[in-house]
Structure 1
């Protein structure tokens, strides 16, 4: 069954999405009032946060990392490939999508804290609405975008993918 395409402009307006520094559009929808402290740290933070995240118009989520685990949830649209580089040089690609329509997709995928990751719609002309839940909660102070050209020397076997999904200088 063919699903209707996402109307990106309508979703941006209806969900009050804003441009995200990594690419795409987002809005925080939840910030837990409960606070937690990481082991061996003093600073407290929200136990969890959640956002809507929209990829559309050929945009991708550029390589970045955060200090918390992030769970991606599929809501609507085209499948999204979430590419994750681990500390040992490995690459895992999670195909996030409607698993009822796409046998190679999953409804949820986890990116572990500290790993570099990027995401793109499988169909470069497609659009996808996903959600991201972060625990402990997301803080921009712990968000690190990879500088152009910074990851290729650490992950030479993935140079082409890294270059394609990097921020442009």
Structure 2
């Protein structure tokens, strides 16, 4: 077993990470007891904020998806991670998360706005990255939408190749 694989397995065990439906591993670490009402549905109460640990390794990626809330990504450990974001006008922004002390062209935090499609991958598929994701209002799987890759490619034809490469790990894409 390589040192990298050993470290990854240790981190998965140490932090109690579970497989995430979009790829990688995660564990919720915080769910605010304070609640809010969403404008769209005043009868529905949401946690004001949630946070998770999230790890990508072994060549896994976070498939294209979107949320109804803003999400802040925080870099913790490993090697640089790219978070690709497609906004409603079709503009692609890639946030390079990493340790800015050792990789000056990276950032410690990046924001993905509610409704934007996004996916993430380690720059080096042989490496791993541990990040945190904070969502406000809080994350709920009922507001988690995985992209239909074909439809996303039609909507954003300039980015067809990237969209196809970071589609869901399973299915007929």
Identify whether the pair has TM-score above 0.5, normalized to the shorter chain: yes
Secondary structure of the corresponding residue to residue 151 of structure 1: helix
**Post-superposition shift, 1:150?**
2.5
Q: Distance in 2 between matches of 1:70 and 1:155?
A: 22
1:124 CA drift (Å): 1.2
Cα deviation, 1:90-130, whole Å, max 9, x if unaligned, reads: 00000000011111100000000000000000111110000
- Rounded Cα–Cα distance in structure 2 between residues aligned with 1:149 and 1:9: 34
Root-mean-square deviation (CA, aligned residues, Å) is 1.2
Matches within 5 A, 1:1-169: 5=4, 7-42=7-42, 43-167=44-168, 168=170, 169=172
Contact 1:50-1:134 at 8 Å conserved across structures: yes
Determine if contact 2:80/2:123 at 8 Å carries over to the other structure.
yes
Give TM-score scaled by structure 2 length. Answer: 0.93
User: Could you tell me whether the CA contact under 8 Å between 1:28 and 1:50 is conserved in 2?
Assistant: yes
CA deviation map 1:78-97 (0-9, x unaligned): 00000000000100000000
Report the Cα distance in structure 1 between the residues aligned to 2:59 and 2:85, rounded to whole angstroms.
20
- Structure 1 residues not aligned, in runs of 5+: none
- After TM superposition, give the deviation of residue 39 of structure 1 in Å: 2.5
**Distance of aligned partners of 1:101 and 1:5 in 2 relative to their CA distance in 1, 3 Å threshold:** farther
- 8 Å CA contact retained: 1:57, 1:125: yes
The one-character-per-residue Cα deviations of 1:109-161 (angstroms, maximum 9, x if unpaired) are 00000000000001111100000000000000000001242210000000010
Query: 1:102, 1:45 → 2: CA distance?
Result: 37
- Deviation, 1:37, is 1.1
TM-score scaled by length of structure 1: 0.95
Q: Distance in 2 between matches of 1:117 and 1:147?
A: 13
Paired residues of 1:66 and 1:114 also in contact (CA < 8 A): yes
- How many Å apart are 1:5 and its aligned residue? 4.7
What displacement does 1:40 show? 4.4
| Equivalent residue pairs, number | 166
The CA distance in 2 between the partners of 1:158 and 1:103, in whole Å, is 27
Query: Structure 2: where are the runs of 5+ without partners?
Result: none
